[in-house]
Amino acid sequence: MFSDLITPDESGSDTFLIKPEFKPKSIRSFVIRAGKITAGQKKAFETLWPIYGLSLFKGRIDPHTLFGRNAPLVLEIGFGMGDSLFQMAKQEPEKDFIGIEVHPPGVGRLMNLAHQEKLTNLRVYMADAMDVLEDCIPDESIDRLQLYFPDPWHKKKHNKRRIVQTVFVHKLHPKLKPSGIFHMATDWQPYAEYMLEVMDLAGGFDNIQASSPYSPRPDYRPITKFEKRGEKLGHGVWDLMFKKNNSFVMVRPHNND
Ligand SMILES: C[S@@+](CC[C@H](N)C(=O)[O-])C[C@H]1O[C@@H](n2cnc3c(N)ncnc32)[C@H](O)[C@@H]1O
């Protein structure tokens, strides 16, 4: 329920605190910012959350029941303010989209945009994507998983907070359909190289490009808000696209009993 995500802010009579859903863990890929929203924004959340919102704590979803049809499914992790995900959902009505983001203002904005356009092919989690992947997304349900401009965590000592790690790739691999696509983009070359290393180590995917590790930006991916900011600063952009193969075997610890 939306009321579980929101509490009155002690410091202001007309403001409320809103927080994303996540389970306790030692390392997170995001910083929790105390999200304050006004009474007006709260009202918008209250009316739109029942239409677009999905809760981590409701467990496994059935995409066919959720959208009332059997359509290709796209999952985007960390959609930021939501503009590019909104654009994609609008321009590909034959596909269904689920976005995951921990930043409440972005979730609110995406729901507002979707509502204005009366989109029926979009749902959102305001939660940690690691938990959503684990608890909510059924195996072999996703056609395309999008991760655009994840926080680069530049400093060496913070690299462990990058979302792209072998454990993350091992979590998402089973969620993709056979031959499903994992599409990443970054404007930080050392992170692009790190992504390549992780994908190589994790296994279970083929780079869709034979001649270069990087892909040209496909037509379906709009330029994102974060990317625009980087462009102004003269940053390059690296798209990486991998197709799931069946060579990945999860090694489980042995039970010696
Ligand atoms: C640098 S921003 C990029 C936003 C957007 N993709 C764009 O290109 O404009 C990275 C986003 O990922 C979100 N994020 C980081 N870790 C996340 C996680 N574990 N689950 C959900 N969202 C996450 C952050 O809140 C942030 O909005």
Q: Which atom of ligand 1 is nearest to the CA of 129?
A: 20
In order along its 257 residues, the chain shows pLDDT tens digits of 777 787 888 776 678 888 899 998 888 888 877 677 778 778 888 999 999 999 999 999 999 999 999 999 999 999 999 999 999 999 999 999 999 999 988 999 999 999 999 999 999 999 999 999 999 999 999 999 999 999 999 888 998 999 999 999 999 999 999 999 999 999 999 999 999 999 999 999 999 998 999 999 999 999 999 999 988 999 999 999 999 998 765 655 554 43
CA distance 98 to 129: 11
Return left, alpha or beta for 128; rule: phi > 0 is left, psi -120 to 50 is alpha, else beta: beta
pTM of the model: 0.93
| DSSP β-ladder status, 142-148 and 176-186 | parallel
The CATH-assigned architecture of domain 2-244 is 3-Layer(aba) Sandwich (3.40)
Mutate to test the pocket of ligand 1, among 56, 103, 217 (most ligand atoms within 8 A of CB): 103
Dihedral (CA of 215, 183, 221, 208) sign: positive
What is 133-186 written as a DSSP string?
HHHTSPTT-EEEEEEES-----SGGGGGG-S-SHHHHHHHGGGEEEEEEEEEEE
Report how far ligand 1's centroid is from the alpha carbon of 134 (Å): 18
- Closest protein CA for atom 27 of ligand 1: 80
| DSSP β-ladder status, 15-18 and 6-8 | antiparallel
Is 206 labeled as catalytic in the residue annotation?
no
Domain ranges of the chain: 2-244
